[in-house]
């Protein structure tokens, strides 16, 4: 790591809060000609280039022409072992799991496959500007070891966990309540809090865990500080009916998790499409978060996430790609799909809101705002250099954009991995496009 300070000069944008609560005008900070100064991986200054260069005339400056620097994207729900099932035809959730996903996950009993998949997955994340993700492994402990080791080698801030799954799945993919507890505990002791790594207790979803396993998941959360809880919730109608059959004594889907003490401020529930008011209120009361995964929800035909309802109930929402149910690693594409999903429900996501969901909201959901999610002084220098002329069409359209708001909208509608010029993690360049 470089010891001397380095300055990045570019247009720079970051979120200051949720546009829905603070008002759009107060929700961001934008420097048309900005300077971001970094020392030993930490942001030391952010401001107008002219003013900061006057104060630090001898600083080394990296100039980014026709670019926009934003915080690294945060993907709050993704499965690294499902990279190989992205774009699998024809099924909705439960058949998709059985026909595509479980066979692909079974291959992670092989450690070499885990290592190679983890490296490819991280390459894809970084090439899409995603610097932090909340990641599902498989039921195999070694899948998570491989992922953490690959992430640690690259000094990334990542959260992951071993799937806990002791029923209603193929035999070669099930653990037991006891073994899942022991394996998870060993992973926690080895990796949770190591460098930039964190552990998430990861029961797959209510139908694939016995009550005993869910109870042990809750026990793990009570035994260590700052663990995450990561699972799926209320994604698909058949899934919801199945949960009601399996847990008839619980009043709704969320109540299954609630009963086993799995609702904490560090709990992230993926999808949460078909929730009733009672479930929304409970999520808000527990300060738990939901991951809105729009490309997955449309691809698997799961339904339209109700962002307005979540806002009304003050539930923390962030964005997830849900690879391989989702169809793109790109958080720009995910913002585009979120916009379309909300259009179908009759309202528009402002580009600053979409951008907030992909950055600061992720850090809020993960309780990491002191470290990532914006470009405030004192936080870690995880950021992306977006190319405002990434393709001929983006360039053509961008020349007609009259404001940063419009530029942002063009990027989220037309952009994908081609719009990522460079990705930085802890001040170091970890991806650079060839063009
Ligand atoms: N519910 C349970 N497992 C999964 C999964 O792997 N993907 C999605 N989208 N939903 C799930
Ligand atoms: Zn998922």
Residue 17: half-sphere exposure toward Cβ, Cα within 13 Å: 9
CA 225, 226, 227 angle in degrees (round to 5)?
Answer: 100
Is 417 near ligand 1, meaning CB less than 6 Å away? no
Is 232 near ligand 1, meaning CB less than 6 Å away? yes
Pairing mode, strands 316-319 and 289-292: parallel
Expressed in angstroms and rounded, the spacing between residue 326 Cα and the centre of ligand 2 is 8
- 318 and 205 assigned to the same domain: yes
Q: What CA–CA distance (Å, rounded) separates 402 from 407? A: 8
- 237 and 309 assigned to the same domain: yes
Report pLDDT digits (tens) over 133-178: 999 999 999 999 999 999 999 999 999 999 999 999 999 999 999 9
Listed residues 264, 297, 329: the one ending a domain: 329
Is the entire prediction scored with pTM above 0.85? Answer: yes
Does residue 185 fall inside a structural domain? Answer: yes
Laid out side by side, the sheet with 428-432 consists of 42-48, 28-39, 6-15, 60-71, 383-387, 420-425, 428-432
Pocket test for ligand 1, best of 97, 239, 246 (most atoms within 8 A of CB): 97
- 24 and 47 assigned to the same domain: yes
- E strands within 241-281? 267-271
Is 101 near ligand 1, meaning CB less than 6 Å away? yes
Is 97 near ligand 1, meaning CB less than 6 Å away? yes
Number of domains in the chain: 2
Does residue 170 fall inside a structural domain? Answer: yes
- 185 and 275 assigned to the same domain: yes
Is 93 near ligand 1, meaning CB less than 6 Å away? yes
Is 77 near ligand 1, meaning CB less than 6 Å away? no
Is 320 near ligand 1, meaning CB less than 6 Å away? no
- 276 and 138 assigned to the same domain: yes
Place of tokens 């460098």: 195
> pLDDT tens digits for the chain (435 residues)?
667 999 999 999 999 999 999 999 999 999 999 999 999 999 999 999 999 999 999 999 999 999 999 999 999 999 999 999 999 999 899 999 999 999 999 999 999 999 999 999 999 999 999 999 999 999 999 999 999 999 999 999 999 999 999 999 999 999 999 999 999 999 999 999 999 999 999 999 999 999 999 999 999 999 999 999 999 999 999 999 999 999 999 999 999 999 999 999 999 999 999 999 999 999 999 999 999 999 999 999 999 999 999 999 999 999 999 999 999 999 999 999 999 999 999 999 999 999 999 999 999 999 999 999 999 999 999 999 999 999 999 999 999 999 999 999 999 999 999 999 999 999 999 999 987
Question: Which ligand 1 atom minimizes the distance to the CA of 208?
Answer: 2
- 67 and 83 assigned to the same domain: no
Report pLDDT digits (tens) over 354-404: 999 999 999 999 999 999 999 999 999 999 999 999 999 999 999 999 999
Expressed in angstroms and rounded, the spacing between residue 250 Cα and the centre of ligand 2 is 23
- 415 and 274 assigned to the same domain: no
Is 8 near ligand 1, meaning CB less than 6 Å away? no
Does residue 404 fall inside a structural domain? Answer: yes
What is the helix, strand, coil percentage profile of the chain, to 5? Answer: 45, 25, 35
**If you compute the radius of gyration of the chain from its CA atoms, what whole number of angstroms results?**
21
Does residue 206 fall inside a structural domain? Answer: yes
pLDDT at 434: 83
- 16 and 112 assigned to the same domain: no
**Cα end-to-end span (Å), the chain:** 25
Listed residues 329, 356, 384: the one ending a domain: 329
- E strands within 169-261? 197-203, 228-233
- 157 and 210 assigned to the same domain: yes
CATH code at position 323: 3.20.20.140
- 30 and 154 assigned to the same domain: no
CATH code at position 31: 2.30.40.10
Expressed in angstroms and rounded, the spacing between residue 33 Cα and the centre of ligand 2 is 39
Does residue 46 fall inside a structural domain? Answer: yes
Does residue 14 fall inside a structural domain? Answer: yes
Q: What CA–CA distance (Å, rounded) separates 356 from 267? A: 20
Neighbours of 152 (CB within 10 A): 15
Domain that holds residue 277: 73-329
- 172 and 220 assigned to the same domain: yes
**Which protein residue has the closest C-alpha to ligand 1 atom 11?**
232
Q: Which two tokens stand for residue 357?
A: 């969901």
Expressed in angstroms and rounded, the spacing between residue 296 Cα and the centre of ligand 1 is 10
Residue 402: half-sphere exposure toward Cβ, Cα within 13 Å: 0
- 85 and 49 assigned to the same domain: no
């Amino acid at each position: 790591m470089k010891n001397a300070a380095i300055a990045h000069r570019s247009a720079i944008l970051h979120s200051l809060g949720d546009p829905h609560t603070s008002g759009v005008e107060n929700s961001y900070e934008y420097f048309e000609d900005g300077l971001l100064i970094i020392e030993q991986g930490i942001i030391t200054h952010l401001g107008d280039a002219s003013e900061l260069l006057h104060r630090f005339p001898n600083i080394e400056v990296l100039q980014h022409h026709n670019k926009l620097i934003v915080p690294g994207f945060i993907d709050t729900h993704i499965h690294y072992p499902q990279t190989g099932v992205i774009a699998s035809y024809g099924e909705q959730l439960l058949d998709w799991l059985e026909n595509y996903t479980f066979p692909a996950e079974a291959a992670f009993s092989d450690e070499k496959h885990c290592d190679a998949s983890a490296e490819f997955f991280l390459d894809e994340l970084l090439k899409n500007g995603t610097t932090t993700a909340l990641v599902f492994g498989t039921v195999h402990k070694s899948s998570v070891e491989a992922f953490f080791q690959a992430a640690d080698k690259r000094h990334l801030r990542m959260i992951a966990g071993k799937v806990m799954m002791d029923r209603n799945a193929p035999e070669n993919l099930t653990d037991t309540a006891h073994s899942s507890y022991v394996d998870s505990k060993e992973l926690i002791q080895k990796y949770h809090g190591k460098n930039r790594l964190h552990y998430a207790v990861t029961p797959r979803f209510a139908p694939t865990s016995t009550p005993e396993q869910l109870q042990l998941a809750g026990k793990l959360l009570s035994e260590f500080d700052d663990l995450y809880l990561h699972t799926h919730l209320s994604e698909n109608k058949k899934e919801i009916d199945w949960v009601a059959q399996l847990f008839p004594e619980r009043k709704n889907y969320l109540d299954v998790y609630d009963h086993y003490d799995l609702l904490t401020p560090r709990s992230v529930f993926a999808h949460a499409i078909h929730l009733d008011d009672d479930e929304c209120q409970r999520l808000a009361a527990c300060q738990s978060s939901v991951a809105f995964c729009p490309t997955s929800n449309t691809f698997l035909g799961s339904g339209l996430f109700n962002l307005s309802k979540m806002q009304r109930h003050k539930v923390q929402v962030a964005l997830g790609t849900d690879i391989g149910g989702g169809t793109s690693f790109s958080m720009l594409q995910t913002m585009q799909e979120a916009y379309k999903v909300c259009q179908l429900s009759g309202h528009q996501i402002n580009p600053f809101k979409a951008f907030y969901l992909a950055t600061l909201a992720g850090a809020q959901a993960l309780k990491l705002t002191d470290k990532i999610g914006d470009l405030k002084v004192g936080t870690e220098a995880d950021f992306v250099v977006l190319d405002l002329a990434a393709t001929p069409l983006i360039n053509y359209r961008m020349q007609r954009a009259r404001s940063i708001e419009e530029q942002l909208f063009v990027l989220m509608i037309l952009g994908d991995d081609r719009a990522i010029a460079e990705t930085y993690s802890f001040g170091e360049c970890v991806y650079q496009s060839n063009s």
